[in-house]
Structure 1
Amino acid sequence: MARTMTSAARRKDTREKIELGGLIVKAGLRYEKRALLLGALIAIARRIKSDDHERSRLTAIGVEAFGNDGE
């Protein structure tokens, strides 16, 4: 990131990272190795680029896990 990032932009970036980390915890993966988590995320990113059905299936699982808020 650029060194000239504003304070507001840094706060927004930090907040987003905290929220994304919370997803790891919510998924029950808090104690997994970082390399495994990154590998899993890379694999799923590749898969959903080429498979709309898989994207929809995984989205449905996530929506169910979140309950009614969906995000």
Structure 2
Amino acid sequence: MRIVADTGRCIGAAVCALAVPEVFDQDPVEATVVVLDPAPPPETHEAVREAVERCPSGALRVDGSTVSART
């Protein structure tokens, strides 16, 4: 699993950071997503996929997965 974030699309809702704080955070100035671990451990994969699906702006995607940013 590899996480890709489009910070230009991020609206700073923090859904991802609240769901999986060991993988996602927010930039303190821009309030956009910061991916702390772009290749997170397997035990976080389910939570990461759920966070990606719940991203209101579609700024997150998982490479090689059926879960992707809304286009």
Q: TM-score when scaled to structure 1?
A: 0.33
Query: Which has the larger Rg?
Result: 1
Q: Counting helix residues as a fraction of each chain, which structure ranks higher?
A: 1
User: Relative contact order, CA 8 A, sep 6+: which one is greater?
Assistant: 2
Q: Counting strand residues as a fraction of each chain, which structure ranks higher?
A: 2
